[in-house]
Amino acid sequence: MQNNQMHSPWSFIAAVFLLLLLSTVTADAHAHLVEAAPAVGSVATHAPSEVVLTFSESIEPAFSSLEVQDETGHRVDKDDKHVDAMNSHILHASLKSLVTGRYHVFWRVVSVDTHVTTGDFIFQVNP
């Protein structure tokens, strides 16, 4: 009985240690924009159907945002931003039908170690 009483807390501690080990993800630095489609400052000859942003680190879907506005400030995305299922570095947002003009992309992402980064860029549609 004495030995069992001594072993049970050690088993508990070992179990917690394993849980902590398994639940921990890599701690990364701030997530910076690595690649964008449409590209930053580009002129697209075909209206894109979505905006795809690739970041340097894995990002959290919750509290990350991606918004696209036209020249008048109206939103032209479908408010369906989501992190890529296969690659947690990529953020998508679908777009409504775009006409010729300039569009402004605003993004805010939270990396998995809670660092927040924001940014924006312009692209044009000119078929």
Partner 1 sequence: MIVITAIFQAIHLAALLLMFGFAAFFLLVAMPVVRKVIGGAGNLKEFYEWSARWLTFMMMVAIAAEIGCFCIQTISISGLPLWRALSVDTLEIVGTQTSFGRQCLLRLTTLVFAGGYLLLKARNVEKPSSTWMMQASAVSAVLLFSVTLASHAAAGGGGALRWALVAVYAIHVIASAVWLGGLVPFAYILASTRRSYAGPWVLPAKEITQRFSTVALISVGLLMITGLLNAWIFVGSFSALATPPYGYLLILKMLLFATMLGVAAQNKFAITPQLDISSGLKRIYAFRPLRKLYRNVVLESVLGLAVILVATLLGLSPPAIH
Asked if residue 53 lies in contact with residue 88, where contact means CB atoms within 8 angstroms, the answer is no
Residue 6 lies near partner 1 (rule: CB under 8 A): yes
Nearest approach in angstroms of CB 53 to partner 1 is 18
Binding pattern to partner 1, positions 84-113, x when CB under 8 A?
------------------------x-x-xx
Residue 73 lies near partner 1 (rule: CB under 8 A): no
Please classify residue 1 by burial: count the beta carbons closer than 10 Å to its beta carbon, then call 0-12 exposed, 13-18 middle and 19+ buried.
exposed
Residue 123: strand, helix, or coil: strand
Give Cα 117 distance to the centre of its chain.
10
The residue among 61 and 101 lying less far from partner 1, judged by its C-beta, is: 61
Residue 122 lies near partner 1 (rule: CB under 8 A): no
Residue 116 lies near partner 1 (rule: CB under 8 A): yes
Short-list 110, 109, 81, 102, CA closest to 38: 102
Residue 53: strand, helix, or coil: strand
Q: Which two tokens stand for residue 37?
A: 């489609």
Residue 119 lies near partner 1 (rule: CB under 8 A): no
Q: Using CB under 8 A as the criterion, which residues of the chain lie in contact with partner 1 when the complex forms?
A: 6, 9-10, 12-13, 16-17, 19-21, 23-30, 60-63, 108, 110, 112-114, 116
